[in-house]
Amino acid sequence: MSMIAPRNSPRPKLPNGVRIYAISDIHGCAHLLEQMFAVIDADMANSRPYRAIEVFLGDYIDRGPDSRHTLDLLINRSRRRNTVFLKGNHEAYFTSVLEDPARAAEWFQFGGLQTLMSYGVSAAPGLGKDELPDLVRELTSVMPPEHIAFLRQLRPTFTCGDFFFVHAGVRPGIPLSEQREQDLLWIRDEFLQSNRRFGKYVVHGHTPVKQAELLENRANIDTGAYATGNLTLLSIQGNSMLAI
């Protein structure tokens, strides 16, 4: 799938020799992530880019069946040292719940129960709202410390060449260097409905679409993996983009 090139405007471009592989909104679908790792590894073996960078756009946990194994896979992948991990709204919310277990009921509405269960912590049917914080404390006691450290060290954005990678998007009219983290992690309509240029070409997830959208000013690569079974990989090299 090729990007639609803006008229009378140069295509966004990466530095020579750099290839980026971007994935967003894994949401605990560890089996799909493993498949994409195999695709990336095969492509790198075949094309041998001078420098490959793997960029993950957040929302690694919640909703899907295996958040724990997803984090294990990502942490193991990070040892290659060519990886960039961005923060999604689900990671931001989860770390706030770790700090304040009283927010557990809200987290469960975002798919937190599936994350809890992936660590072997179960909620009995009919559990009262006042008892939910105890489940969060139990989860904290069984989570590997490296998982908590990973979630707390995520960065909000990544820039390479003419591309700006972020979880949700940016607020139109605000310079990229002045964006608020709240917008970077949560924004929807104001960003999605904007046709303006943002200073760089924005690659994002957060809002599920049936298939990857490669538009003139942005690319949305969240294809709702936990609901559709379709986890999208975006490959970028030079001024070409391909969604797989």
Give me the residue spans of the domains in the chain: 18-243
pLDDT at 155 over 90: yes
Alpha-helical runs (H) found in 179-235: 181-186, 189-192, 225-228
- The arrangement of strands across the sheet holding 83-85 comes to 83-85, 51-56, 18-23, 233-237, 240-243
Q: What is the pTM of this model?
A: 0.95
Residue listed under structure tokens 């799938």: 1
Nearest C-alpha neighbor of 206 from the set 183, 189, 222: 222
Q: Enumerate the β-bridge partners of residue 18.
A: 51
The 10s digit of each residue's pLDDT in 83-124 is 999 999 999 999 999 999 999 999 998 999 999 999 999 887
Superfamily of domain 18-243: Metallo-dependent phosphatases (3.60.21.10)
Q: Average the pLDDT over each of 7-21, 78-92, 230-244 and give the range with the smallest value.
A: 7-21
The phi and psi torsions of 65 (rounded to 5 degrees) equal -80, -20
Q: Give the count of beta carbons closer than 10 Å to the beta carbon of residue 66.
A: 21
